[in-house]
Amino acid sequence: MPDAPIKIGIRDELRVLLKLYPVFRRYTRDRARVKKNEEHAWDPKIETNGQKAVNTFIDLGPTYIKLGQVISARPDLLPNEYIKAFEQLQDSVPPAPFPEVKPVIENNLGKISEVFDSFNEEAISGASLGQVYLAKYRGEDVVVKVNRPNIQERVKKDIAVISRLLNLARRRLDTYLYVSLDNVIADFSGRIFDEADYLKESSNIMRIGENIRKRQEKVIVPEVYEELSSSQVLVMRYHPGIKITDIKTLKSRGIDLKNLAWRLDLLFMRMLLRDKIFHADPHPGNISVTDDGSIILYDYGMVGSLDDKTRFQLLKLYDGLSNSDPDVIMDSLISMNALSPVANRAIMRRTMELAIANLQGKPVEEREVQEIFSIANDVIFEFPFRLPRELVLYMRMSSLLEGTCKLLDPDFRFIAILRQILYQEGMLNDLYRFQISEFVRKSISSIEKGLDVLPLLKRSLEEQSGNSNFRNSIKIPASIFLGFLTLASVYISTTNRYLGFSFLGVTVVLFLLVLFKKD
């Protein structure tokens, strides 16, 4: 965002304050009620309040709709009942009149009549940040995605109002809640402008499309017409399809819904755990299916990415969950900064054990993501959980994906399919290699730190070099170091067998020299 201050009218603040204040009061009361609710029973009154909050966000307009979508992935902030309500918040807003949108198109591309063969002025969809039209370009059907008029200015003003009101409410919020909300707003401020920048969305489309094409998946990613795209206008090839929610039509086309759910889950898990970027908004409006069963993905404005460490810790967490190991789960959460390392480990371990026991009423394969999130949400207010930025979009993606897959297959079981994916894709082998490489890296770091003290020990070593006991004892650290080299050779062999075995051979020779070296 620019550094220049945004002018906020008192009317803007009052309008938002009058609408948000009742929502804020109900929310703080409901949050306190959840803390006291030891049985964690579903509360219809809280559910009603959550729906009222959603209605208010819709009434306040595009910025608040996007904000609602973001906080729907925050179980550390919202009770279950609110999350259920906010997950229904679709990014659908009546389109602006075409005469207001036309200047945006022509300022970026030139006269519509000179650029396109034909152009339908009736928008086929309207979202919070933009709207979409059908057109023909060089004989091809295309879609033209256009920023809403003055959307950047409106978003800047809305965020300024939200930040100011949050600051005014600071005294009425506990420190954790204030800091969490402040972080949400700061993160949201950056993300929403990225979503409104269609050059960035164009880059997202091409990156995700390239990854999918390499795997030859039965998935369609729209082609971008780069010569017609700018930060405010995005032109793509038009790919019509059957809505993923149109179960009747999908069945009439002979499409296997169970297989479709499997392929959809596999698609997103590969993006999440294999690629550097993943589509983070798989709600039903962004997914269609062709007559031959190919999946079409739309809208690449909201994307996420996990660094290697976070992705492998996520794999480790799933592995721990499948094996009912609360310690592995906790270690993964701490490594991902999703759980404070100062948390009472004994209490947290017991909580994890109870959560696992609660899930063991079914076979392991039937542990569903929604249930896991629900349990986490029940205890989230009592224990020091945190949600780092990179995990927020992952949680949103996972929740939406599971809901869409269950729509296709009511018997869909996320964990069962995930475990199959992990084994079939060889991802657990990747995890084990990562763990070994991390051990090697830390060991090398420790050795480097140890080398720093060698000059200080030089004199002492020289003084004791005549001592036979000392000469024998020095074999011990040498043997330890060679043991480390052995472990390193094992790791290297997982990626380069011949180099690894060569390294191992050298290590064996060195070990024998140390073992049988004469005094």
**Whole-number CA gyration radius for the chain:** 28
Check residue 467 and give its pLDDT.
52
Check residue 368 and give its pLDDT.
47
Q: What does the block give as tokens for 245?
A: 């929610």
Q: Higher-confidence residue: 460 or 499?
A: 460
- Tell me which amino acid residue 424 is: Q
Catalytic residue (one of 76, 91, 265, 281): 281
Q: How do residues 45-56 score in pLDDT, each as one tens digit?
A: 999 999 999 999
Sign of CA dihedral 227, 191, 301, 120: negative
Is 43 marked active-site?
A: no
Q: Does 18 have pLDDT greater than 70?
A: yes
Check residue 2 and give its pLDDT.
46
What integer is the mean pLDDT of 112-141? 94
Kindly list the distances between the CA atom of residue 286 and the CA atoms of 204, 509, 512, in Å, as whole numbers in the listed order.
15, 60, 63
Q: What is the DSSP string of 354-367?
A: HHHHHHTTS-GGG-
Q: Confidence class of residue 132 from pLDDT cuts 50, 70 and 90?
A: very high
Q: Are strands 219-220 and 140-147 parallel, antiparallel or unpaired?
A: unpaired
Q: How do residues 307-318 score in pLDDT, each as one tens digit?
A: 888 888 888 887
Check residue 475 and give its pLDDT.
47
Check residue 434 and give its pLDDT.
74
Q: How do residues 186-208 score in pLDDT, each as one tens digit?
A: 888 888 999 999 999 999 999 99
Check residue 38 and give its pLDDT.
54
- Tell me which amino acid residue 136 is: K
Query: Checking phi first, is residue 4 left (phi over 0); if not, alpha (psi -120 to 50) or beta?
Result: beta
Query: pTM of the entire structure?
Result: 0.75
Q: How do residues 347-395 score in pLDDT, each as one tens digit?
A: 677 667 766 665 554 544 444 444 554 554 444 554 545 666 678 788 8
Whole-angstrom distance, CA of residue 336 vs CA of residue 330: 10
